[in-house]
Structure 1
């Protein structure tokens, strides 16, 4: 199993509470809705973005990404693709929604993270491998600080306890670092083709 940063149950509950009202029926579902511009959209752009979604979700999987890869029934699925500008809808039961919420934050902040540059992402990945070169560590710290500041500016996360925000930032950085080779292309698609991304509650069909 991967040695990813620990995020406390209290932090998870608070983060979920920012997006999921307490009074919502327990049998509801949480939808992640991604609006994609279809204008001159290439297959490669779309596949890069969907691949990073799958990788992010796999990194959040409790038994690790390798177990996730071998359990097709657990893998994230698109439940609807709507016409017009493309709208992809991914769905999860409310009781299993914690990774879904983190996935939403990962996708939302992907363009912010890439601002540290591809080299910065590579350095962050290297620091997780315990490279001791001073320049790598210094650059990594600078990138982490800038990224955490971008999270603080997120209106949806403003009320988050500072300690919980730190835990969240560490988890996001870890997952980004694991996929640093894929991030530049996926981030470019995010900036140029993703028109909107949001969470919404859906009453489960009977």
Structure 2
């Protein structure tokens, strides 16, 4: 059965080591600049370039107020600087973001949806293609399989990492990274516990079918 494998340190897990913060802060700016250069984000485009929303999130994003319970689904990539400082973008993975506000504050979690067998790998690869098409404006909606919908409905209620506003963005307290709303989408950047590069994600609202 499909399970949720945490892609970022965005739930109440052991404290993030200081070196993860240091590596993220050192790599974030150069990686985002390389991403902008890769997709020529400073030039007008006839078709949408989804990752430009990530590259330009600090200039164009906002920390929009959050209300109630919110679930978002989208894609996550690992982005690294390769030869000559050029951005290397990994394969997209289907992921989800939960942000729930109560009387105490805003609680969040971010996760990658991980397959457990060949059938699920095929299904999630198809969903990744569909969400890529959606983000590029070639699709209007992406229907989710019933088991994925059920998984998200249960998981989204368990968001337990405190989220707060800082420097014009929402941040997961005690974790490296930030997320902002860019247009109608939520965009996030974060750090893996190990390895180079940064983790970037783009999410759209998920609405359960009636």
Normalised TM-score (structure 2)? 0.27
The structure, 1 or 2, with the larger RCO (C-alpha pairs under 8 Å, 6+ apart) is: 1
Indicate the structure with greater strand content.
2
